Amino acid sequence: MSTTEITDFKATYQQYQQKVENAIDAIMPAADTRPAVLHEAMRYSLQAGGKRIRPVLLQAAHAMFPSQLDPMPACVALECLHTYSLIHDDLPCMDDSDLRRGRPTCHKQFDEETALLAGDALLTWSLWLLAEKYQQAPATAVGLVRDLGDAAGSEKLIGGQMEDLLGERDEPTPERLDFIHRNKTGALITASLTMGIRLTDAPAETVEVMRTIGHHVGLAFQIIDDILDATADAETLGKPVGADAENNKSTYPALYGLEASRAKAHEHSEAAVSACEKLGGNNAFLIALIREMEKRVN
């Protein structure tokens, strides 16, 4: 990638990020909406920064083909769903984390009960938002709700979390590791891409191609996450490190070693790029994003 392409990529990424920040602020209930502590907690976690990878992926998919629909409500819904999962993951009954994105987790900043309800509210609000903002395109709205609801359900995100917890009590296995990564992390990344393409005028079959791309991107992303937890420091990551090993979690480095894990992440990234190239459209940014995600350091 040339210096110009890198500059253009970074500028585009930052534009997409800023659009998400602006949309969250504009669309979410104000912090003083009753009950204020609940809405403060929702905004505290939702506006904690971060890379906004999922809504950026959604925008990247949306930009590939012509569209008459605004992707920002879908981006906010996606980030609400993702943030709910982080709030609940950090709770004392789950990962018991004190730090998220470089600052106190929701239950540390407020209290455990408020964090639990803030997560619940973000989850339900995300699905309402899709139905509300895309009601003039009902078929699209149904597809978006289906994608997000499916990704967040008992067989995917929540199912992956359950298997992750069960894995702490048993010996890690490759089969369980694959299930966890495909569902706890990969399903929402896949939904980011399928939701983005649903908002365009692209043929219906492109949704399935995006599902394949999302499968590979999601696995590569989580493998790199595993590697970073084993090799990076807390300041760089903005969250505690080494928790995977401490909690006996199934990870790629634990089962396969760092070198083989990096090779597997690269293999999935290149498979995603290949599928993206075949799909065509305005795919340059998405391809660059897939490759940058593989090289990330936090």
Q: Could you report the per-residue pLDDT of 175-214, keeping only the tens digit for each?
A: 999 999 999 999 999 999 999 999 999 999 999 999 999 9
pLDDT at 1: 40
pLDDT at 3: 40
- For residue 201 the two structure tokens come to 């005028």
Contact 80, 122 (CB under 8 A): yes
Contact 148, 191 (CB under 8 A): yes
**Least confident stretch, 22-36, 101-115, 166-180, 183-197:** 166-180
pLDDT at 250: 75
Q: What percent of the chain has pLDDT over 90?
A: 82
Q: How crowded is residue 146: how many other Cβ atoms within 10 Å of its Cβ? A: 15
Contact 267, 194 (CB under 8 A): no
5-10 average pLDDT score: 75
81-107 average pLDDT score: 94
**Res 6 pLDDT > 60:** no
Contact 192, 211 (CB under 8 A): no
Q: What percent of the chain has pLDDT over 70?
A: 91
DSSP label at residue 100? E
251-277 average pLDDT score: 94
Report the helix count and the strand count for the chain, using DSSP H and E.
16, 2
Residue given tokens 């089969």 in the structure block:
175
How far is Cα 243 from Cα 144, in angstroms, rounded to an integer?
A: 34
- Structural domain range at position 130: 3-295
Of 249, 213, 207, nearest to 229 (Cα)? 249
pLDDT at 167: 85
What domain count does the chain have? Answer: 1
3-class DSSP state of 172: coil
Q: Is the model more confident about 3 or about 121?
A: 121
28-39 average pLDDT score: 97
- For residue 102 the two structure tokens come to 């470089």
- For residue 126 the two structure tokens come to 């995300």
pLDDT at 150: 97
- For residue 109 the two structure tokens come to 């900043």
pLDDT at 201: 94
pLDDT at 4: 45
Q: What is the largest CA-CA distance in the chain?
A: 51
What does pLDDT average to over the chain? 91
pLDDT at 214: 97
**Res 116 pLDDT > 90:** yes
Q: What is the CATH number of the domain that holds 216?
A: 1.10.600.10
Burial of 281 (0-12, 13-18, 19+ CB in 10 A): middle
